[in-house]
A and B are shown apart, each in its own frame.
Chain A
Amino acid sequence: MIEHHLDDDMLLQYAAGTLAEGWSVAVATHLALCPECRSKLAVLESVGGYFIDNEIANDANVSRDWESLKAEIDAGKIDKVVPIKKRSDSDRTYPEPLRTYIEAAGGLRWRTLGRGAAQMIIPTGDETATLRLLKIPAGQPVPEHSHRGIELTLVLDGSFSDEVSTFARGDIEMADDSLMHQPKADAGKDCICLAVTEAPLRFKSRLLRLIQPMLGI
């Protein structure tokens, strides 16, 4: 049972289409696991429908534009067909849309962080956020990392606990630089999380930019 949900704030930005891609991947992946948040999303999207219904729109050129659309329909112009994605049934740890991003990166490739922990940076088209998978061995503390701004963590497998609570599959934790905590993966199973952070500063030096991913900063 999911206990830690998305903030209304985050859901609203996703519904309105203003949330950047990196955060949206984590939000949509949580939504795949959480009927309760999907129901909240439906209410918010209906607010978008309400604003469409209540928009005072001018009717200029509507007939002209209709004629041109109708001509396209009559000519049998077909909308771009979106290819149906092939699905691998093998690993349910990574729901869509996350799985597609992992596959686009060439599949899972863990990079060790020491003491059994590992991470994988997941590329997106979003320069404002960094998306990464983290694997923390059972019973081990989450590796030290500085929060720069806010950080969203979504648990995909296993669980971790801090002083306040336990976070298991589907749970979301929001943290910012004011949060002082020492989360630890629970015993029994390695914990795999998706973490989104505000993107690091872009270095001017090309060399630094190149090695930045290797340094994991």
Chain B
Amino acid sequence: MWPTSSGGAREVDKLEEEPVSLDAGRIKALMSAVADSRDIGAFELLYRYFYPRVRSYMVKMTRGNRILAEELAQETMMRVWHKAGLFDPARAQASTWIFTIARNQMIDSVRKSSKPDFDPNDPAFVPDDFEAADVLIERQQSAAALGRAMATLKGGYAEVLRLSFFEGLTHSTIAEKLNLPIGTVKSRIRLACEKLRTALQDEAK
């Protein structure tokens, strides 16, 4: 059983000393415990894993505003708790799903903009075809596969992805920062994306 904050104080103290590490399988099990039985102990473990990471993301996206970053990370985790039932492990990894919640929170609060999104229930929405069902299976296996694929990217390519996701830089800002022509930044992005897709497809075969 998961330690709860009322009954597992010693466990919690131990967790506080060492950073929590959870593998993808454990995260998935904890997510379904939260979704299916509103298990607060399971959620605490997820919180101790994800909250510091999301907060660190928010610190970067707010350009170092720690108070705002903390507030946004709390809000993100609150949404994880409330929306856990909407998480579909067949469609994405939990960390990916939580990233998208954090990102949308960031767009809303930091960029003060709305996030235009498609709606799968819209009658004009074109659903996935049968071939895309293979992609779903591919995604289920993709945490480890993606890690391996990311590890094969050369430094300059992974860096462009990191600057986009974790520094929130636009491509022209990345070009300025790395002192590269914008065309080079765009071609690195294209090559990095192709390489990731190929690596994931190869793993899925």
Contacts and interface: CB of A to CB of B under 8 A. Distances in A.
Interface string A28-69: 110111110011101111111111110111110111011111
Contact of B44 (A34, A59, A66): A66
Nearest to A90: B123
Interface of B: 5, 12, 16, 19, 40, 44, 47-48, 50-57, 70, 73-74, 77-79, 81-83, 91-100, 102-104, 106-107, 111-119, 121-129, 132, 135, 139, 142-143, 146-147, 150, 161-162, 164-166, 168-171, 186, 189-190, 193-194, 196-197, 200
Task: Give chain B's interface secondary structure class.
Answer: helix
A52 B50 contact: yes
Nearest to B142: A46
A83 interface: no
The 10 nearest A-B residue pairs measured at CB? A49-B96, A57-B52, A95-B124, A32-B118, A49-B95, A48-B99, A96-B119, A97-B116, A8-B193, A92-B124
A44 B121 CA distance: 23
Interface in A189-216: none
A17 B58 CA distance: 12
Contact of A50 (B95, B104, B113): B95
B190 A9 contact: yes
Interface string A154-186: 000000000000000010000000000000000
Contact of B53 (A24, A35, A57): A57
B82 A63 contact: no
B114 A21 contact: yes
Q: Which of A20, A46, A95 neighbours the largest number of chain B CB atoms within 10 Å of its CB? A: A46
Contacts of A65: 51, 70, 73-74
B57 A52 contact: yes
A153 B93 CA distance: 33
Contacts of A59: 16, 19, 52
Nearest to A36: B132
Contacts of B128: 35, 38-39
A70 B40 contact: yes
A57 B82 CA distance: 24
Given A17-B168, A24-B115, A43-B146, 7 more contacts: A34-B126, A51-B161, A53-B143, A62-B16, A63-B12, A73-B78, A99-B124
